[in-house]
Amino acid sequence: MIRWSFDDDHLLDLVIAGKKRATCSVYSGKITPLGEESIITKNGKDAVKIRIIAAKVFKFKEAKEEDVIKEGEGNLEAWRKIHIEFFKKYYPDFNDDYDILFEEFEVVEIYE
């Protein structure tokens, strides 16, 4: 099972609180299979097990309010600002035409 972590513990807190039910990344050519489970860690320890329930790919500029609100980080404008800043750390040429993998998930188990 894949274990991964957020760059910011605040995002994990949103998952635990039930406010964050989606996440996105720059599309790498692979879509996570529906039903796949992974564990989000905090400080190297298992924190939350999640299961992918929906996944889709779209251009960053095509993000819709009804989708990004599921990430629990505010409205579309706030989401765009946060994610442009984040993605540019890893992809300096990141722009609105990049493909994004948007994944919705459900919490299976909380370990904390």
Q: What's the rounded mean pLDDT across residues 1-24?
A: 94
- Residue 21 corresponds to which tokens in the numbers above? 């039910």
97 within 8 A of 84, measured Cβ to Cβ: no
Please give the C-alpha separations between residue 33 and each of 5, 28, 54, 56, in angstroms, as whole numbers.
19, 14, 9, 11
Going 34 to 87 to 49 to 62, the CA torsion angle's sign is: negative
pLDDT at 73 > cutoff 90: no
What is the predicted pLDDT for the residue at 74?
Answer: 87
Report residue 70's pLDDT band, with 50, 70 and 90 as the boundaries: very high
Residue 98 pLDDT > 80: yes
Q: Which of 58, 69, 70, 78 is nearest to 105 (CA)?
A: 70
Q: What are phi and psi of 21, to 5 degrees?
A: -130, 20
C-alpha closest to that of 47 among 91, 93, 10, 97 = 10
Q: Superfamily for 2-110?
A: Sulfate adenylyltransferase (3.10.400.10)
| CB-CB contact of 51 with 105 (8 Å) | yes
Domain spans of the chain, in order of start: 2-110
- pLDDT averaged over the chain? 95
Q: How much is the average pLDDT of 4-26?
A: 94
